Structure 1
Amino acid sequence: MTNLADLEAANAALIAAAPDTATLDEARVQILGKVGNVSLLLKTLGAMSPEERREQGPAINGLRERMAEQIAARKAALEAAELDAELAGVHVDLTLPAPPRRRGSVHPTMQTMDEMIAIFADMGFSLAEGPDIETDFNNFTALNFPPKHPAREMHDTFFLPEDANGERKVLRTHTSPVQVRVMNRTNEKLPNWIAQGQEPPIRVIVPGRTFRKDSDQTHTPMFHQIEGLVIDRNIHMGHLKWTLETFIARFFETPEVVTRFRPHHFPFTEPSAEIDVRCDRSGGEVRIGQGDDWLEILGCGMVHPNVLRNCGLDPDEWQGFAFGCGVDRLGMLKYGMPDLRDMFASDVRWLQHYGFSPFAMPDPATGLS
């Protein structure tokens, strides 16, 4: 029978002599492993008589517990010594400047919107804004949408519950309700930042958020539009064409802009058109101003006489044009972003890649971006 006191002393010396944690682990296997000297002693208990087992069992189990405690204590001491040695080799120079702090960047949508506002401001347009929650009248009826128009259906529009007066509100589906607010003479008390009745002539742009039940690679339930409105005497499609071609050329920073106006239908304009711009789609990119392909870029038209009447203007005296385009989509085209949904995914890595410096404000004279 093995002398437990001698075995314990030999194992204790082996544990104390371990110079590092790797050697200590080898000693642990030699003592407590499957074929370790203490583990082998435990296996002999089955062959002992009951009297021997009552005597040797507690002694061998006590030896195993003491060995485990010594190994744990030695491991803690070795790890502390290794950490001290590692820290002793690390030096911190407190005179060095701190690491640069990560700075925020301007979201591409806001950058694109600022660029568009800067261009139109340079062309003499003023800025108008309106609320995200609109009345059904301003969003549809005043803009000549018939009662059963598909845009009024639940599958296209976010409707809110009726208020105490039975009036139905919506999340605006376009920025055109602000046109109604700009043209309409109203006694309603509104915050100063919300556009309300102006006397013609009128030349405004309306940037803002809009909402529709749509989601795919080029559509999101919330997106941004910028709307333009001009009301004056003797306004015609030639003024509209020059305004939009000038804007497109300056926004994409290329003089080689070729556009075509395709007849279309919008309830609030007549005649109405969609504008295509010549582009090149080869190589997985869209290049404006070259190639033989066409890309639809915005909608426009002459303000419908019914809209003028609904806002209290005489269409025999006043004429005008309106246009609207998606801010996010124009940003995608200009800066090569493949998916509109990424703009609202809250991914900091995406924003670090596509974001803009807050110190580079768009200026048509010195450069937009």
Structure 2
Amino acid sequence: MNTSYIDGTDMIFQKAQDLLEEEIEAIQQTKELLDDNFIRAISLMNECTGKLIVTGIGKSGHAARKMAATMVSLGITAVYLNPAEAVHGDLGIVQENDIVIGISKSGESKELIAIYPAIKSLKASIITITANPYSKMAQYSDVVLRIGIKKEAGHLNLAPTSSVIASLALGDALATIVAEMKGFSEEQFAVYHPGGALGEGLTMKVEDLLTVNHYSAVEETGSFQEILIELTTKRIGATVVMRNDNIVGIITDGDLKRLLEKYQEESFKLVAKNISESKPTTIQKGTKVIDAIRIMERRDHPISVLPVLDGSRYLGTLRIHDVLRGL
């Protein structure tokens, strides 16, 4: 559909941009309000021997659920507590060594105020995320983290928008920093995400992406014609050069193209050992796909193909395209 024919298109784009700017401003203001209380919150969470319990009502409740979910995915034991249900027995989940994180823009949510005294009596710590550091919830808290909100994004300044975005961003900062301090690793992340693309990318081995079509090799005495046939039939972007069953070089499509441009018909007189790049970068069977990506990308000149070996035995050539498709 051609949006240029819709009346008010420019106005719609402008309103969207204005709203996003207002939400960006809320995060920026929250960033500027970071102080020693944030350090205290991080310290409490890092030293916590119990669990983290995140609570909020309404849209802040949705933010609390997401915050708890992020923490769990990063190896931090966390749960969401519905404050409306807490006053009817669910508060039993709170124990002495726990930390309760309450989210409320006003700091005056009656549902949370109703459970804060009980949480204190259970000797759990309280961290409150709010725009009002002088609120009733703040008064019960061990640590108060401020979100910077001038107004809620949108034309009514009513629906929770900027305040929720700022709370979520602050929660992400808490979760990721604590996870890093606890030494949470890629391997642990993969354990917690076995079914997703991220988890597969962290656990999959390079040989898992190889097929019979990934094996492409010529002897070092192989003719230019043999090399050309191997590259065009296998179509993996490169062929390795072998001597006594060991890799001694590699020839890529790009190498062949540059050779033809430089020597033209004289190229057909060359053999593989005259063309190949010696000592190519290789990778061993059992290497994780994510590490293969790093090897490809973190060279002075990034590469897109990587021969896979089992000891000294050549198994096949992995392409960056296979990696991306596998993820």
TM-score category of the 2 structures, normalised to the smaller one: under 0.3
Q: TM-score, normalised by structure 2?
A: 0.23
Larger Rg: 1
Q: Which has the higher helix share?
A: 2
| Higher RCO by CA contacts (8 Å cutoff, separation 6 or greater) | 1
